[in-house]
Amino acid sequence: MSEEYDVIVIGGGSGGYAAAKKSSGLGLKVAVIDGAKELGGLCILRGCMPTKALLETSSRMRAIREAGEFAIEVQNPSVDIDSLRDRKSRLIDDFQHYRVKGLENGNFDLIRGYAKFISPHEIEIEGYQTLKGKAFVVATGSVESIPKIPGLFDSPYWTSDDIVDLPRLPESVVVVGTGAVGMESAFLFEGLGSKVTIISRSRPLVSGVTPALSEAMEKRCQDLGIDIIFEKPLTNVSYHDSGFTLTIGEETQIDCDQLIMASGRKPNLGPLNLVAAGFSDDLRQLKINDYCQTSEPHIFGVGDVSSPLAVVHLAVMQGEAAGENIAAYLEGAEQTATWDERLNIFGIFTDPELVELGWNQNEALKRGFDPVTASYRYDDQGKGEIVGEKHGLVSITADRKTGKILGAAGVGPHVIDYAHTMMVALHQNLTVAEFLKIPSYHPTLGEIWTYVAEELIEEL
């Protein structure tokens, strides 16, 4: 069975769905290929949504334990794990139903199965169907990247996929990795009552973010009793009836009830046979330009397979840009739709939360700006003091020459939510002076952005 389409989208997650919806809306004949056991994509099924549902309960448990600071006496709260699983499942079922409905009722063909390229313009779906495409969108997401450590694969370690099912509540947990998954896992289980240890191969704790943010997060971990082992890798895993014995570095050994591997993810490209489409056999990531186009002009990449940051909003931006640009490409017209890497936002839903958006000082320097950064602490801000934030802070980076805001960052209560104030500023290319003309309600946590902007205007 063979059929030809204008666009074949491989992967029905957030980025793929956005590409299919946009291109079909422009009148193109579109097919979406998805071979996953369940439709919905990583974010809905195994990522953003289920983890945040669990973290909400964890954060509320932590708040109850810390209620004494606010003159509230509480007696030994406990978590009903079965009820927590049920709540999470109900929420995810609703989210998944909405996405599946969109895929099944969209103005495109949905074909279930795993696809691989057999030529630059042909794919084969699990050996029984061949489709031809004038253009393709690769949106196959990412898979976990687990290092080869002696004894690890003989043990029942958990990954993020296991955590969302919450098989049980361990007494003690060791988390390997300090990215978003690692830090959220650590705070999830600490909040639910487990004793938590984090293994960080390097220092600072959270790499790639403004150092002050990582320092604030490290202090919060210390307050909560989360142990951190810095600059030592996990070198051996032994599993026995009483749990895990882990070797850290050359000699250090620790025991735990459960090991969590949060060592990162990698683009899911292996099954696609991209060599047949013209790519090299050592491809690790599908590199794209501002129009989401790869080195093969008729093949576009969106989401985790190609994005510098594996987050949903960038995947959607890329999907919509790819859909629009494919229509132009097939007509021989100029491609104009772009995804703006400057409008990235990265958040970790710890307690307090961590967020970075736009470009920090180092990134701005690499791009030829003369960046100036100022910061402001929550323990010197009215609402921050009221809510009891001890270590958090926010910062804004601007260009010295023009005064334009280049980026912002913060560690603080619910800071990811009100970081969108700064995203609007970035999107509108506001200067610090222009931003300060926008009023903020008092007293709120969000008005801290104006405090730091006032500090920054003096620096400028």
76: left (phi over 0), alpha (psi -120 to 50) or beta: left
Q: What is the CATH number of the domain that holds 229?
A: 3.50.50.60
Nearest to 36 by CA among 117, 112, 142, 102: 112
Whole-number pLDDT of residue 2: 63
Among 263, 290, 322, the domain-final residue is 263
Q: Tell me if 123 is assigned to some domain.
A: yes
Residues 212 and 284 in one domain: no
Residues 105 and 182 in one domain: no
Q: Give me the phi and psi of 412, to 5 degrees please.
A: 180, 170
Q: Tell me if 346 is assigned to some domain.
A: no
Among 235, 263, 291, the domain-final residue is 263
Residues 258 and 162 in one domain: yes
Residues 93 and 238 in one domain: no
Among 284, 306, 341, the domain-final residue is 341
Residues 363 and 280 in one domain: no
Residue listed under structure tokens 């079965």: 82
Residues 128 and 87 in one domain: yes
d(CA 190, CA 262): 16
Nearest to 205 by CA among 348, 331, 397, 303: 348
Sorted by sequence, the CB contacts under 8 Å of residue 121 that are 6+ apart come out as: 132, 133, 134, 298
Nearest to 316 by CA among 286, 285, 284, 340: 340
Q: Tell me if 408 is assigned to some domain.
A: yes
Q: Tell me if 202 is assigned to some domain.
A: yes
d(CA 418, CA 410): 10
Total domains in the chain come to 3
DSSP letter string, 296-362: STTEEE-GGGT-SS--HHHHHHHHHHHHHHHHHHHHTPPP-----GGG-EEEE--SSEEEEEE--HH
CA distances (Å), origin 238, targets 151, 244, 253: 6, 6, 10
| Torsion angle in degrees (nearest 10) through CA of 305, 306, 308, 313 | -80
Q: What is the CATH number of the domain that holds 447?
A: 3.30.390.30
Q: Give me the phi and psi of 359, to 5 degrees please.
A: -115, 130
Whole-number pLDDT of residue 1: 52
Blockwise average pLDDT, block size 10, the chain, 460 residues: 88 93 96 85 76 94 94 92 92 84 90 94 89 96 92 96 92 96 96 96 89 96 97 94 93 94 90 93 91 96 86 90 96 92 90 95 94 96 96 97 97 97 96 97 96 94
Q: Which domain holds residue 227?
A: 152-263
CA distances (Å), origin 102, targets 151, 245, 321: 43, 47, 19
Q: Tell me if 347 is assigned to some domain.
A: no
Q: Tell me if 305 is assigned to some domain.
A: yes
Whole-number pLDDT of residue 103: 87
CB 291 within 8 A of CB 337: yes
Residues 140 and 278 in one domain: yes
Residues 126 and 272 in one domain: yes
d(CA 182, CA 202): 14
